Amino acid sequence: MAHLFPTTSGPNDPPGPQLSPEQWHYALAQFLSQSQTIPPTQLPTPPASASPELVLDPMLAPQPQQSTESRLEALEQEITRLKAEKRATEDDSESAPEKKRRKRKQKPSPYVLKSSAGLCEEQIKVRKLLMQKVKNEGKRITGRLSDSDSDSDDGDDESDLPSSQATHTILRYNFAATVTHADNIKVFDRIADLVWTEQRDPTSSTYSLGYPNVSFTREDLLEFAETNFRSWKSKWKGEHYPEVRRKQEKAAQKDRQVLRRKELKANRLKAVSDYKQKYKRDPICILETDFMSDEISAPSADDEDTRDEHRRRLVKAAHLGPTQQRNDVWEVIRPGFQSVEMSKTKNDLDELVNKRRETQNKKTKRIRGRVPRVNFGNTHNRIPRSTLYPFMLSQPWYDEHVAGNEELEGTVMIFSKDPRGFGDS
DNA sequence: TATATCGTCATTACTGTTCC
DNA sequence: GGAACAGTAATGACGATATA
């Protein structure tokens, strides 16, 4: 180790080559990393028989008479000095050719439209058009013209393709591989070549983007093709791996739940002015998507019997007629954290929402209703991510599920004061 | 009167983006 | 590369209206 370890030169030492700060850093890091595991007193000394050629630099030769502490101290001083020197040199040579050269070395991004961030309206339009073209070409040249042929990619028989599709060579994606696989790169290249040839020159007869001033690169097209591939691969995996399918279905269900909560919030927002007029207070504070109830069509249990029983209870509670037995019914699952006051505020709002809906339905003579909702009084125990006002929180729920749990206590955020008209205010 | 077309609402499916 | 999220398109069901 010692021959890799640089030492400082003393005032009387012969001049030697200077080390750059980077070299010093590296050497120090090497030394420190090793000295952490080897007690300084046990630091090995170079073997007496070590030949001089093993020492990379005469200046790096060990000085065994120095203590480890003093060597470290000297090293740190040297690094500080070199850093200061380097800073001064850089400041002085702000316009030095070396610096300019380094700047020019930075490779420009090969993409123009890869990300929509920072693009102008026209660029975004062109980007959308190109994505669509890339997608269509991808479908065409891989024979994915309908859902029913989604399996065609992992097969090798082209004879069962419709004659209209067989007029050109069908390339295959390899969905079991990533975007870097040669098979897939071949398809991306083909797609990019086709769209690039058609759309690169605004004066050509095939150009159809409509914004000749907007430029793009072939790499953009490759990127779009890869994005399409990832989406199709995900679908393919869902079709071929039951575990993936289960995960995707679970994610889709979660997505639906979020959408329904947003819908609930949007409907309640429509009744805010009516509520303000009637109750002389603003209920906007409770209208966070996060605070909305879940509306579920089936419990998350995998057990078929449990789901069937739940379904029977919902149908019964919704008073569905004999011809409506297969209709959707959702169960309302309210947040467990919410107080009686918050719950009542929601009920009052919903009453006004329903009133509005009835008026609207009468006006348009609508018959079709929404999916009926049933409330069995069940609640969920998710911790709200948005900050609560004190009046919203159910103290018994907090005591049972949060109090005493340091981790959870840190995640429930509560304002210090209630908004006007709520709680004690 | 039958039916074709359009508009609206509720809901779902799909796609693109961002973050990790 | 995957998960989460957001925005948009698509779908289904229905009423209103125009037209033959």
Find the residue closest to B14 using CA and C1' atoms: A231
**pLDDT confidence of residue A362:** 61
Q: Within 7 Å: CB of A128 and strand C?
A: no
A422 CB contacts (<8 Å, ≥6 apart)? Answer: A281, A285, A341, A345, A389, A391
Q: Within 7 Å: CB of A361 and strand B?
A: no
Measured distance CA(A175)–CA(A183) in Å, rounded: 10
Question: Could you tell me what percent of chain A has a pLDDT over 70?
Answer: 62
Q: CA(A64)–C1'(B14) in Å?
A: 72
Q: CA(A364)–C1'(B6) in Å?
A: 15
Angle at A192 between CA A189 and CA A194, to 5 degrees: 105
- pTM, two decimal places: 0.66
Handedness of CA A337, A341, A342, A347 (dihedral sign): positive
Q: Within 7 Å: CB of A256 and strand B?
A: yes
Q: Within 7 Å: CB of A249 and strand C?
A: no
pLDDT in tens, A85-105: 444 443 343 333 333 344 445
Q: CA(A26)–C1'(B14) in Å?
A: 52
Determine contact, residues A209/A199, Cβ cutoff 8 Å: yes
| Higher-scoring residue by pLDDT: A179, A69 | A179
Determine contact, residues A132/A138, Cβ cutoff 8 Å: no
**pLDDT confidence of residue A400:** 92
**pLDDT confidence of residue A77:** 52
| Higher-scoring residue by pLDDT: A217, A419 | A419
- Average pLDDT (A358-376) is 66
**pLDDT confidence of residue A21:** 34
Least confidently predicted of A28-42, A85-99, A111-125, A379-393? A28-42
Q: Within 7 Å: CB of A115 and strand B?
A: yes
Residue A376, Cβ neighbours under 10 Å: how many? Answer: 12
Q: Which residues from the 181-240 window of protein chain A have CB within 7 angstroms of nucleic acid chain C?
A: 226, 230, 233-234, 237
Q: Within 7 Å: CB of A43 and strand C?
A: no
Least confidently predicted of A50-59, A138-147, A316-325? A50-59
Q: Within 7 Å: CB of A48 and strand C?
A: no
Determine contact, residues A195/A133, Cβ cutoff 8 Å: yes
| Higher-scoring residue by pLDDT: A409, A245 | A409
Question: Which pLDDT band, with edges at 50, 70 and 90, does A421 fall under?
Answer: very high
Measured distance CA(A297)–CA(A14) in Å, rounded: 85
Least confidently predicted of A14-18, A284-288, A334-338, A363-367? A14-18
pLDDT reading at A287 higher than 80: yes
Least confidently predicted of A36-45, A104-113, A364-373, A384-393? A36-45
Measured distance CA(A247)–CA(A249) in Å, rounded: 5
Q: Within 7 Å: CB of A122 and strand C?
A: no
pLDDT in tens, A202-260: 899 988 888 888 888 888 888 888 877 877 777 777 777 777 777 777 777 777 777 77
Amino acid sitting at position A268: R
Q: Quote the mean pLDDT of chain A.
A: 67
DSSP for A89-131 reads HHHHTTT-HHHHHHHHHSPPPS-SSSS-TT--HHHHHHHHHHH
Q: Which nucleotides of C are covered by protein (CB under 7 A)?
A: 1-8, 13-16
**pLDDT confidence of residue A279:** 92
Q: Within 7 Å: CB of A134 and strand B?
A: no
pLDDT reading at A318 higher than 60: yes
Question: Which pLDDT band, with edges at 50, 70 and 90, does A399 fall under?
Answer: very high
- Average pLDDT (A27-54) is 32
